[in-house]
Structure 1
């Protein structure tokens, strides 16, 4: 196949680093959210299976069909978004919202309106919501520095040191460095006490859930999830790929995200999206016409990881709480920084502020969570007090 001829050592290296990124901090976020929502290790393993296997299949198809680095994984903001929802919704209700969101995205993609939808959404208000839902991960990282300094401080020092040295960071991304140092600190301070139990016998066997479709879950989750995928996550991915000289198929990607979300949702996986960080890594070097080959390698690495999800889940759940909190928090720092920068400069600043405050407040009205109300109140505030900013969206 031509894909093997197009591979180079640099592209393979980029693909491996991109995969390690996806399999470290973002997986820690799944475990953190799931543990907070009282999901079992089997449910978490099935979730990880779904988001790796399903999105690897989509990525392979798109990379080979369009000859572009089109890597799909799952929405991190959407994952964080369902954390508070699990306090008052059952997991089957959340899964029902995943399926409804997937159907909505597929329909929007088929209708061809996704590009116009992305332009019409006030990005500062959307990013105000994102900043609000990500805030807790930053706070958990700070708490880990206090509660288990022997784990959190070395991880933080490694992350900052690598971030301060761009040349070294290119060979060893800061998050990967923090992961390695954290594993070493885990072994030295606490020792590795991991009981795999029957996880090996469950390799490659996800749980198939029966979804429940409740009005509360639909109202609270579907619109925010669709916005985070189509506007925030996919928008980031499009920007990354266009800066590298690619022209991603916007509507086809929306359809794929919708279908992937419905399939992954059946085994408990969060909504699919076109990933920004992974695509940024694999399109950073080399001729652009060969970047797709790195995307193929990422997908091929994701498949065995997904199949081994029960084992990896047991290992991660055995880690000290500070290890997960630090890894997830450090993974969120740049995204949280970008969310604040986008939300609070230029247009819709007041609406973004209201959205952020309402989201952070954990306000619940009619049993509907704060992220939804943050968007509602933010848009209303901007419509009343920043009317001229809406004229710029036309």
Structure 2
């Protein structure tokens, strides 16, 4: 076991480093702002938002590192962006306590299905078009607003897009397109004088057990879609991609880890974990 871990030092090279940096940039500048926006849309308090954000990132990081060390395959465990967007569309229809309870039910279901071996058997027979169609309508509004924001602030968005396209054109793993996009965008912000200092305070994140309320409407509207997203998108697309790349993937064990991580997330206000499809492709 220790020899296997020592052998990993030889795998730390420039392409691997920049792949990790690209993944970090994607989550830091793409996923985190979206998470903050949805938390605001749901009307959460600062403590609730802090607990939610902290637990899902921490549990995902721990699970990712553990699975990577044990199985020597790139398995980024994060959280479902489609699931997060879907929760945002339910603002006003359910209380946060009902969402927390429904997420706990989803985590338990994912864990049980993983123990039963459903995670591996679901890959061949779950129709992806059904999974994709379920949340396609919910993300359409976000996509249109993204285009509007790009057109409205082209002086920043234009250089960022140009940086990304330049990185794709170069095609060198040491020059990540997302990194160039962030760099070009940051330079345009500084040149345009749009960056202004803001007073801010630092503090430890809040991690609190959240109140739960269980209702059948919330279970049907939240729990079941979350299970489908976790096992459907995560297993079929995320793990399926790894299998297609020739990796030997312990699907059932990873499904159990996802279920256990989802249960932990829900206790502190988080939503279910998932094998990150974008992260898998980057890494």
Q: What is the aligned residue count?
A: 277
Structure-2 change in CA distance of 1:182 and 1:265 (3 Å): farther
Matched, 1:234 2:235: yes
Alignment of 1:200-215 (within 5 A): 200-201=202-203, 203-215=204-216
Give the unaligned 5+ runs of structure 2.
none
Residue 116 of structure 1 corresponds to: 121
Residue 327 of structure 1 corresponds to: none
Residue 194 of structure 2 corresponds to: 190
Give the unaligned 5+ runs of structure 1.
283-394
Matched, 1:103 2:108: yes
Structure-2 change in CA distance of 1:181 and 1:45 (3 Å): farther
Alignment of 1:204-283 (within 5 A): 204-282=205-283
Residue 306 of structure 1 corresponds to: none
Structure 2 Cα separation of the partners of residues 194 and 42 of structure 1: 21
Structure 2 Cα separation of the partners of residues 271 and 278 of structure 1: 16
Structure 1 Cα separation of the partners of residues 32 and 111 of structure 2: 25
Structure 2 Cα separation of the partners of residues 258 and 192 of structure 1: 43
Where 2:274 maps in the other structure, the secondary structure is strand
Structure 2 Cα separation of the partners of residues 171 and 76 of structure 1: 27
CA apart distance, 1:251: 1.3
CA apart distance, 1:146: 4.0
Residue 146 of structure 2 corresponds to: 141
Where 1:246 maps in the other structure, the secondary structure is coil
Contact conserved, 2:233 with 2:277, CA < 8 A, in 1?
no
Structure 1 Cα separation of the partners of residues 214 and 170 of structure 2: 48
Q: What TM-score comes out, normalization by structure 2 length? A: 0.87
Structure 1 Cα separation of the partners of residues 19 and 150 of structure 2: 31
Listed one character per residue, the Cα deviations across residues 75-117 of structure 1 (whole Å, up to 9, x for unaligned) are 1111111011123212221111111110000000111122333
Residue 179 of structure 1 corresponds to: 182
Contact conserved, 2:122 with 2:236, CA < 8 A, in 1?
no
Residue 129 of structure 1 corresponds to: 134
Where 2:264 maps in the other structure, the secondary structure is helix
Structure-2 change in CA distance of 1:149 and 1:67 (3 Å): closer
Residue 28 of structure 2 corresponds to: 23
Structure-2 change in CA distance of 1:232 and 1:61 (3 Å): same
Matched, 1:85 2:90: yes
Matched, 1:39 2:44: yes
CA apart distance, 1:28: 2.2
Structure-2 change in CA distance of 1:178 and 1:132 (3 Å): farther
Listed one character per residue, the Cα deviations across residues 341-364 of structure 1 (whole Å, up to 9, x for unaligned) are xxxxxxxxxxxxxxxxxxxxxxxx
Listed one character per residue, the Cα deviations across residues 15-60 of structure 1 (whole Å, up to 9, x for unaligned) are 2222222222122221222222223344333222112110111122
Structure 1 Cα separation of the partners of residues 193 and 47 of structure 2: 28
CA apart distance, 1:151: 3.4
Structure-2 change in CA distance of 1:211 and 1:141 (3 Å): same
Contact conserved, 2:80 with 2:229, CA < 8 A, in 1?
yes
Structure 2 Cα separation of the partners of residues 234 and 189 of structure 1: 45
> Alpha carbon RMSD of aligned pairs, Å?
2.3
Where 1:270 maps in the other structure, the secondary structure is coil
Contact conserved, 1:77 with 1:134, CA < 8 A, in 2?
yes
Residue 50 of structure 1 corresponds to: 55
